[in-house]
């Protein structure tokens, strides 16, 4: 039966992921991976969380939000305050970072999600900038010079957060609640007429996405020793957006793969600082020219193992993605 197969595949992927993370843990503690690779690995993990959480908002629910760096900033600063100023343990900081970003998502989401398309994009962009300016002007968190944070992000914390993010968002998507969000993306008027409370589900997707962006903020803050408002400008929001678009708007595995590839590319390009942004931009332009639907298009990673079965399809022409 179909449902049973899903459950089996689910546990299989969890077991594989745990085995993978244990191997990496041994490589790290054994010193096989030097700190350069470890740093890249941590950046990849954080970017995966960001990309997957934004994918829920843009790819699943179809709400074009580009203020994700705002939630990242809230998570980073709140979690840093909790560990550095209140000296509470790291997991509390991560949860608090996520929770405060979720609350911000709720407060921002209720008024702005009435807007559509470009208007929503501008409003969320504004939100991201407001958060940056707010932290810039609070002396308690160091103002423009930022805040120093101890390094607490370890591989087990990182990989557990990545896995939890993916599992929660996959489980949410593959349920009637996720289908309600997909219906909003496909046709909001019809979704409304079919008895779906569209505002509720838009805000819900926004809040869940914001929560995980906040958690990523906590991991980010405790990985890079220092956080400054300048790290959370709108360019950061666009970096996350690029991950989602390059991966394929309607594919979550696409977001993950794009997060891995682009992080690796930009890390290795940091050896050539003069041409780094030029090459990075060229990669993006070539990508959009030859594969406008994104790396994975509408396919999920798991669909390669099944024959002719895909619940989430999508247009292959890519014309509707030009907005990004």
Binding site for another protein (CB under 8 A): 3, 7, 10, 168, 171-172, 175-180, 182-183, 186-187, 189-198, 204, 250, 298, 308-309, 311-315
**Residue 310 C-beta: closest distance to another protein, Å:** 8
Euclidean distance between CA atoms 322 and 324, whole angstroms: 5
Tell me if 198 sits within 8 A of 31, measured CB to CB.
no
> Dihedral, CA atoms, 207, 212, 218, 220, nearest 10 degrees?
-130
Strand partners, 226: 148
**Residue 15 C-beta: closest distance to another protein, Å:** 16
**Closest to another protein by CB, 154 or 302:** 302
Q: What are phi and psi of 148, to 5 degrees?
A: -85, 140
**Closest to another protein by CB, 85 or 306:** 306
Euclidean distance between CA atoms 322 and 62, whole angstroms: 14
**Residue 304 C-beta: closest distance to another protein, Å:** 17
**Residue 180 C-beta: closest distance to another protein, Å:** 5
Residue 147, classed as helix, strand or coil, is: strand
Strands 147-148 and 226-227: antiparallel
Burial of residue 63 (number of CB atoms within 10 Å: 0-12, 13-18, 19+) = buried
**Closest to another protein by CB, 142 or 294:** 294
**Closest to another protein by CB, 194 or 285:** 194
**Closest to another protein by CB, 189 or 289:** 189
Euclidean distance between CA atoms 145 and 163, whole angstroms: 33
Q: What are phi and psi of 227, to 5 degrees?
A: -120, 135
**Residue 159 C-beta: closest distance to another protein, Å:** 19
Burial of residue 229 (number of CB atoms within 10 Å: 0-12, 13-18, 19+) = buried
**Closest to another protein by CB, 274 or 317:** 317
**Residue 197 C-beta: closest distance to another protein, Å:** 5
């Amino acid at each position: 039966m179909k449902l049973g197969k899903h459950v089996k595949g689910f546990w299989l992927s969890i077991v594989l992921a745990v085995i993978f993370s244990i191997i990496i843990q041994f490589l790290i503690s054994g010193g096989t991976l030097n700190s350069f690779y470890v740093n890249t690995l941590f950046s990849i993990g954080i970017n995966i969380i960001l990309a997957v959480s934004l994918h829920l908002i843009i790819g699943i629910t179809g709400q074009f939000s580009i203020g994700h760096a705002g939630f990242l900033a809230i998570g980073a600063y709140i979690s840093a305050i909790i560990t550095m100023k209140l000296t509470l343990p790291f997991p509390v900081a991560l949860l608090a970072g996520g929770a405060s970003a979720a609350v911000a998502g709720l407060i921002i989401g209720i008024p702005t999600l009435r807007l559509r398309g470009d208007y929503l994009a501008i409003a969320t962009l504004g939100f991201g900038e407001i958060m940056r300016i707010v932290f810039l002007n609070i002396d308690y968190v160091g103002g423009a010079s930022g805040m120093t944070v101890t390094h607490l992000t370890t591989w087990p914390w990182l990989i557990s957060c990545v896995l939890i993010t993916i599992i929660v968002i996959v489980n949410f998507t593959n349920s009637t609640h996720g289908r309600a969000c997909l219906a909003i993306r496909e046709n909001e008027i019809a979704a409304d007429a079919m008895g779906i409370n569209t505002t509720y589900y838009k805000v819900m997707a926004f809040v869940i996405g914001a929560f995980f962006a906040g958690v990523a903020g906590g991991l980010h803050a405790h990985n890079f020793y220092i956080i400054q408002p300048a790290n959370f400008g709108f360019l950061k929001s666009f970096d996350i957006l690029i991950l989602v678009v390059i991966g394929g708007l309607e594919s979550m595995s696409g977001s993950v793969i794009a997060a891995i590839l682009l992080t690796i590319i930009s890390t290795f390009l940091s050896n050539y600082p003069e041409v780094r942004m030029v090459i990075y931009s060229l990669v993006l332009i070539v990508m959009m020219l030859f594969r406008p639907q994104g790396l994975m298009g509408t396919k999920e990673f798991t669909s390669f193992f099944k024959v002719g079965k895909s619940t989430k399809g999508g247009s292959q022409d890519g014309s509707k993605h030009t907005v990004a």
